[in-house]
């Protein structure tokens, strides 16, 4: 007779429990094995801490590791590898490719010229650029000012930016009236501009700004470590997700000058600019590129300027282009003529004429699919599937890109020999 209690338990136990008891050892061993296997799988698939840390600090070398684990980067790559990923018609007609993120960045930075008083307008701009682009890449951002930046400016901007931030004070000689300027002639010019109601025609700081953007910012040692820059003005908006690295794009496609909008210049402000450019070209023909883009800036093969220029409040440029002997000589020549002061030459026509004449036309690029605004004009991608894919928030009705009056993007496409997208004729 056995133990009555045991007998009782035995009766109450289900059959499965009896089986568990029978194979207890084997089950325990399999369970431990399973746990060990799970732990190994987990360890092998977790990136090492050193891999995670590579990004934010940084960026003095050519091949800079990009944090693939940073927000969105892998997701964007996955989306872009899918067959459904669309690139704008204009990228196809310009024959460019959008690079995939491979963990390697180029040496590049956003650059902003700003006053302390621009801070609260600028913070919105920084958010646009960070949210739509830089939160995945963590590129540096360099600020310049003709006065020291306030502590508040530095504190607020650096809190918003995901890369390294630098603040530079512009040397006096880059932001003052040079000794070769005849002050009486300068005052007379400003009076005349006041009568003509030329925008910023009487402003001296505005002239310093245009001259600085034309010939000096790229000389700053704060930019020595970079190969490309994106000019971000304080008063711009980006409307779409930018799903690729714009700087790497420049490099892999061998581009030196990238723009988004192109417009006509106010003729009064540059009365003698083309004459001066022609003198420069006659004196230094070796700097004029053989396969240049003269057709963008002139309708009569160089005789006169047609006022077309790239709107420089958005430009992504190879700094080596500005640092080149050709561009330095060009700027020096223009500057010595005094036109930045006696007239009111803008950096936009100065940059654009240089890009059109000193570069090979294949080295320029029209950016599409980004969505951009600077008062008072908009770039909003013409193709709806692109706007939806890139989560654009601009109203397509506002787009000025393809208007054939005052705007010059069609001129650019014609001069460069690229096909324009279907549908632009509705935009006349
Ligand atoms: N530090 C400094 N920055 C300036 C000065 N003037 C303009 N800037 C900056 O230079 C950039 C271009 O200046 P804007 O005043 O916007 O010139 P603009 O775009 O030709 O003119 P708007 O059509 O009025 O916007 C902006 O990022 C300004 O914040 C100045 O006197 N000092
Ligand atoms: Mg502006």
CA 114–ligand 1 middle distance (angstroms): 7
- Regarding the beta carbon of 118 and ligand 1, being less than 6 Å apart is answered yes
Return the pLDDT at 308.
Answer: 98
Q: What is the mean pLDDT of residues 102-125?
A: 97
State the residue for tokens 């010229």: 113
Confidence label for 252 from pLDDT (cuts 50, 70 and 90): very high
CATH number for the region 73-379+398-415 comes to 3.90.550.10
- Regarding the beta carbon of 348 and ligand 1, being less than 6 Å apart is answered no
Phi-psi region of 173 (alpha: psi -120 to 50; beta: other; left: phi over 0): alpha
Beta-bridged to residue 379, according to DSSP, are: 372
Q: What is the mean pLDDT of residues 348-373?
A: 98
Look over the chain and give the mean of its residue pLDDT values, rounded to a whole number. Answer: 89
Q: Is the pLDDT of residue 71 over 60?
A: no
Sign of CA dihedral 373, 260, 167, 219: negative
Q: Is the pLDDT of residue 6 over 70?
A: no
Per-residue pLDDT tens over the stretch 25-51? 766 777 676 767 766 655 555 443 332
Pocket test for ligand 1, best of 210, 269, 313 (most atoms within 8 A of CB): 313
- Regarding the beta carbon of 235 and ligand 1, being less than 6 Å apart is answered yes
Residue nearest to atom 28 of ligand 1 (CA): 114
Among residues 337, 356, 363, 335, which one has the least CA distance to residue 293?
A: 356
- Regarding the beta carbon of 299 and ligand 1, being less than 6 Å apart is answered no
Confidence label for 75 from pLDDT (cuts 50, 70 and 90): confident
Residue spans of the domains in the chain: they are 4-45, 73-379+398-415
Name which residue leads in pLDDT, 66 or 344.
344
């Amino acid at each position: 007779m056995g133990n009555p209690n045991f007998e009782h338990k035995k009766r109450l136990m289900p059959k499965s429990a009896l089986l568990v008891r029978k194979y207890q050892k084997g089950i325990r061993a399999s369970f431990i094995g399973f746990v060990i296997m799970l732990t190994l799988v987990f360890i092998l698939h977790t990136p090492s801490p050193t891999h995670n840390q590579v990004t934010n600090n940084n960026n003095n070398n050519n091949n800079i590791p990009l944090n693939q684990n940073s927000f969105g980067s892998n997701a964007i790559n996955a989306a872009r590898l899918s067959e459904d990923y669309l690139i704008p018609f204009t990228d196809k007609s310009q024959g460019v490719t959008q690079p995939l993120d491979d963990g390697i960045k180029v040496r590049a930075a956003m650059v902003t010229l700003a006053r302390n008083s621009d801070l609260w307008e600028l913070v919105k701009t920084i958010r646009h650029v960070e949210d739509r682009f830089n939160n995945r890449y963590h590129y540096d951002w360099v600020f310049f000012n003709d006065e020291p930046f306030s502590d508040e400016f530095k504190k607020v901007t650096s809190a918003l930016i995901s890369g390294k931030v630098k603040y530079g004070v512009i040397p006096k000689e880059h932001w003052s009236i040079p000794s070769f300027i005849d002050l009486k002639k300068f005052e007379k010019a400003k009076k005349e501009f006041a009568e003509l109601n030329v925008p910023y025609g009487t402003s001296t700081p505005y002239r310093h700004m245009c001259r600085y953007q034309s010939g000096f910012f790229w000389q700053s040692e704060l930019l020595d470590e970079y190969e490309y820059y994106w000019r971000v003005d304080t008063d711009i908006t980006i409307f779409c997700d930018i799903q690729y690295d714009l700087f790497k794009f420049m490099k892999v496609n061998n581009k030196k000058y990238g723009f988004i909008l192109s417009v006509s210049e106010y003729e009064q402000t540059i009365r003698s600019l083309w004459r001066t450019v022609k003198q420069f070209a006659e004196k230094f023909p070796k700097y004029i590129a053989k396969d240049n883009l003269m057709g963008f800036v002139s309708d009569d093969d160089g005789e006169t300027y047609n006022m077309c220029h790239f709107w420089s409040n958005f430009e992504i440029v190879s700094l080596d282009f500005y640092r080149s002997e050709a561009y330095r000589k060009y700027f020096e020549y223009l500057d010595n003529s005094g036109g930045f002061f006696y007239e009111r030459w803008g950096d936009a026509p100065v940059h654009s004429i240089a890009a059109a004449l000193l570069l090979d036309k294949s080295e320029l690029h029209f950016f599409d699919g980004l969505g951009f605004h600077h008062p008072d004009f908009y770039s909003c991608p013409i193709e709806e599937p692109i706007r939806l894919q890139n989560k654009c928030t601009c109203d397509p009705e506002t787009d000025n890109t393809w208007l054939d009056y005052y705007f010059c993007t069609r001129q650019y496409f014609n001069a460069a020999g690229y096909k324009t997208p279907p549908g632009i004729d509705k935009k006349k």
